[in-house]
Amino acid sequence: MAEKIKQYLTGNRIIIILVILSIILFFIIYQIDFHKNSTLDTGVEILVSLETRDLYTLEEKIDYMKRKAVDANDYSALFGSSVIFGDSIAEGLGLYGFLNASSLVAVLGESTENSVDNIQKLIDLAPHHVFFELGLNDISHPYTTMDSYISSYENLIDLVQLKLPNARIYICSIFPVTDEVLQDDPIFNQIESYNAALEEMAQRKHVTYINTYDVLKRNPEYHNQDGIHVLPEFYPLWLDTLVNNSDLKNLL
């Protein structure tokens, strides 16, 4: 009799253990399936989100994923499909390591009048976004007028639109100079008038005007000692302004 009870209890223990193991196995499988479904749902949400963004190609979608994987201050990744075309101020973006050479066509002394030869370099890079930063050298040139400046600028835009019809074009306003520079060289008092003409031109050419003038005007401490160029600390402010006022914000 005792032996039968012992066998009975042993059999019950085995059944209980099997039931417990089955329950544990069920929860393990459930958690795995839940994780897979959650991951799949997240992936689908990302793809749906990308489909609703104003991006050009699969390459732009890859850029978005790359942006998510890099540090927030890695401007070289964010501007990977862009080119900034400008003068010595833009050149500093490369000198101080903010952008790669493939995102810059910038030359000391560059103006709208002498930029035609360098436009081909920009076109060869085939960017999706083009940011122009030109004007201080034009204003300082004794033979440049506002009309000739705008005419030369329009010519540059026409060349880019002809060769890169899908590229988004952005025009940066001319940066301010310090009050000391204005006193020494009153010709720079024309900057605000030139910027007004730039904004009107941008509307006429169906490109985007970005007010970068105010960014430096509100932060004069970022001017270099010469009162014209800028310190390295200014460049993140400028780049953030470009991102926030362009399609690049869709990559954030």
Task: Give the tens place of pLDDT for each residue, 112-123.
Answer: 999 988 999 999
Give the C-alpha separation, 75 to 31, whole Å. Answer: 39
If 0-12 CB within 10 Å is exposed, 13-18 middle and 19+ buried, where does residue 130 land?
A: buried
Give the C-alpha separation, 16 to 26, whole Å. Answer: 15
If 0-12 CB within 10 Å is exposed, 13-18 middle and 19+ buried, where does residue 30 land?
A: exposed
SS3 116: helix
- Confidence (pLDDT) at 117: 86
- Confidence (pLDDT) at 103: 98
Query: Which residues of the chain, if any, have pLDDT below 70?
Result: 1-73
CA distances from 208 to 47, 122, 128, 171, 247 (A): 28, 18, 14, 6, 10
**H helix or E strand, kind and range, residue 127:** none
- Confidence (pLDDT) at 134: 98
Give the C-alpha separation, 232 to 228, whole Å. Answer: 13
- Confidence (pLDDT) at 71: 52
